[in-house]
Structure 1
């Protein structure tokens, strides 16, 4: 892996969280609440560039990835800049895309996420903000967890617990026939969950 040239990162222009300009060898592959993610076609790495108001998160997330080094369920980070990270590019699909495409989310995939989060806790971290968009099912048939910047927050987050219970007690049931789920339906369920209108928490608490 060759370090990304700093002049390439400097060529990325972001204004009001909108991408204005990028070098030709950068392919945009994702946008989140705090950053754009590019594939550097020159070295095959992913480049995560944070928006101006979130630039401080680059070091924060980089430090978290360093604590997770050695666990196969998290990407390797090769460089931490003032506003960017250089890390493994992971080929695959998010769990969100798996639902859309009808690719089964298996018990084994869920167990691998559990192993990843358990490892993070052993490093003194607090896995938080785990959702379908930051869980990846790779071409090699394994699982990767990305976007770990909130793993140092103090607040207890039950989001993964609720997803796991929904998987076990709804998705895996024979009566659940919607293995291929349209994007609008997934987004609606996510919205209602955040508003605590859909009581997935009651599934977990009713054990």
Structure 2
């Protein structure tokens, strides 16, 4: 298996170096940051040359113990290689006339909650960034705008808005607000309790912003030494 991964890496490196990806591999999708190509059971995300934010591979590295995210096999400055999810995006499923289930939305809620409990804010939850695999499980395939924070409670309202919008686009038009209060967002002792943030939260956040920024720069550092330190860190979801 390791040899097969290395063969894929060498092949993609050669295509990227000679700018032949568009001629050799099918395009699975395209976004602001770059294009995603298919190679057998791999998906290759190739960044645009002028795209400066390439943090998704670093975030994905820390999410490898979470079943909702594809396995990361390799990443470097210009591209990363992950497992190709066999299935359709939620957007494609809706376009094909498929009716999405409430259980699929509950899966999304649970993923977002789990990330929140580990200080990760799941932004950019549009339907092209989520897939339904062959087993009916939700997979998050783009984490480019996810971020880690020491103050996740400050983003409670934003997450509720994202989930409400996702629910609406999935075809469920009732508000999620009451449902959240009944679920583990507010009621479970096994999860961190969401709470409304106050002005004191923001003052506390501003007071620590400089040290938090330093931690973030260390976490997303671009030098090779930072990369080595990054890979030695434990996953957010490891026991």
Cα distance in 1 for partners of 2:137, 2:163 equals 18
Structure 1 residue 126 and structure 2 residue 121: aligned? yes
Structure 1 residue 162 and structure 2 residue 159: aligned? no
Structure that is richer in strand per residue: 1
Residue 135 of structure 1 aligns with which residue?
A: 130
Aligned-residue CA RMSD (Å)? 2.8
Residue 149 of structure 1 aligns with which residue?
A: 144
Residue 11 of structure 1 contacts residue 23 of structure 1 at CA under 8 Å; is this kept in 2? Answer: no
Deviations 1:1-52 (A, max 9, x none): 51333453342379xxxxx6327653221111111111123xx211101001
Counterpart pick for 2:42 among 45, 49, 55: 45
Flag structure 2 segments of 5+ consecutive residues without an equivalent.
150-154, 180-239
Q: What's the TM-score, normalizing by structure 2? A: 0.60
Residue 56 of structure 2 contacts residue 143 of structure 2 at CA under 8 Å; is this kept in 1? Answer: yes
Structure that is richer in helix per residue: 2
Residue 35 of structure 1 aligns with which residue?
A: 34
Q: What's the TM-score, normalizing by structure 1? A: 0.69
Distance 1:46 1:111, change over 3 A: same
Larger Rg: 2
Cα distance in 1 for partners of 2:84, 2:177 equals 37
Distance 1:106 1:124, change over 3 A: same
Which 10-residue stretch deviates more, 71-80 or 147-156?
Answer: 147-156
Distance 1:52 1:23, change over 3 A: closer
Q: CA deviation at 1:165?
A: 5.0
